[in-house]
Amino acid sequence: MDLKAQIDQSKLPRHIAVIMDGNGRWAKQHGKMRIFGHRNGVKAVRETTEAAAELGIDYLTLYAFSTENWGRPKDEVTALMTLLVTTIRKELKTLTENNIRLQAIGDLENLPPKCYKELLEAIELTKNHTRMTLVLALNYSARWEITEAVKSIAGKVKQGEVHPDEINDEMITANLSTAGIPDPELLIRTSGETRISNFLLWQIAYAELYFTPLFWPDFRKNHLYEAILDFQQRERRFGKTSEQVTE
């Protein structure tokens, strides 16, 4: 069955976020080292990005490396950072051909210098692309991000630029690394885990959560379509009653 054709174009999420999980278990299943899983995850990244762009999704955010992931064995961290650099370099052409803009959220300055440099270059080279924005969450943690926003607002209060009574939802939103990006309406997590793992805590306040047992390297276009179709079946009430939102 053609899943793509079943998608209601008038009810597309503007922003989809994905917790790409299960690379290690996928590798284990294949009797290989964990990094083999990470390498194979790149194909899923490519497919998901392509599918999202083809559908007309505006923003796709991929959780690629969490602040907590530094705690993994050194070899794995090094291999992941190397993979990041080579992937950005390799995919730059595809991003350009497809008119996709690259952005990144997280504590980027504390990435290895080579990664940081490669990332900034790719962001700069793709900044005028308009079809879709691909946001990579790298060295990202939602609590880090919220802490940074609090520090920044507190600084403005101290300078007398902001009065504490002026602090509201919009101001906090504007001080996050996702400033200017609409909140994700759909959050997908692969690998069967049903947790958020410190991802976009503020921004997913009203996101629809979608969990699939698939390991990330097995995720393909059709799986994205399935997630979107599931999303389109849901009634988003935002605290109201069903009658209010369907009227």
Catalytic residue among 2, 58, 69, 99: 69
Residue 95, binding choice from Mg ion, ligand IPE, none, Cβ under 5 to 8 Å by partner class: none
Residue 69, binding choice from Mg ion, ligand IPE, none, Cβ under 5 to 8 Å by partner class: ligand IPE
The residue among 59 and 153 lying less far from ligand IPE, judged by its C-beta, is 59
The least CB distance from residue 184 to ligand IPE, in Å, is 15
The residue among 60 and 153 lying less far from ligand IPE, judged by its C-beta, is 60
Residues at the contact surface with ligand IPE, assessed by CB under 6 A: 19-25, 63-66, 69, 80, 191, 193, 195, 197, 216
The least CB distance from residue 187 to Mg ion, in Å, is 16
Tell me, yes or no, if 21 is annotated catalytic.
yes
The least CB distance from residue 190 to ligand IPE, in Å, is 8
Residue 20, binding choice from Mg ion, ligand IPE, none, Cβ under 5 to 8 Å by partner class: ligand IPE
Which residue is nearest to ligand IPE, using beta carbons?
24
The residue among 13 and 22 lying less far from ligand IPE, judged by its C-beta, is 22
Cα–Cα distance, 138 to 128 (Å, whole number): 22
Q: Go through 31-53 and write b for each residue having 16 or more CB atoms within 10 A of its CB, e for each that does not.
A: eeebbbbbbbbbebbebbbbbbb
Catalytic residue among 2, 8, 21, 218: 21
The residue among 7 and 80 lying less far from ligand IPE, judged by its C-beta, is 80
DSSP assignment of the chain equals: --HHHHS-GGG--SEEEEE---HHHHHHHTT--HHHHHHHHHHHHHHHHHHHHHHT-SEEEEEEEEGGGGGS-HHHHHHHHHHHHHHHHHHHHHHHHTTEEEEEES-GGGS-HHHHHHHHHHHHHHTT--SEEEEEEEEE-HHHHHHHHHHHHHHHHHTTSS-GGG--HHHHHHTSTTTTSPPPSEEEE-TT----TTSSTTTTTTPEEEE--S-GGG--HHHHHHHHHHHHHS---TTS-HHHHH-
The residue among 21 and 118 lying less far from Mg ion, judged by its C-beta, is 21
Stretches 20-28, 69-77, 130-138, 146-154: which one binds Mg ion (CB under 5 A)?
A: 20-28
Among all chains, which residue has been given the structure tokens 């796709």?
Answer: 60
* 21 is an interface residue for Mg ion by CB under 5 A: yes
- Which residues are marked as active site? 21, 69
What are the residues binding Mg ion (CB under 5 A)?
A: 21
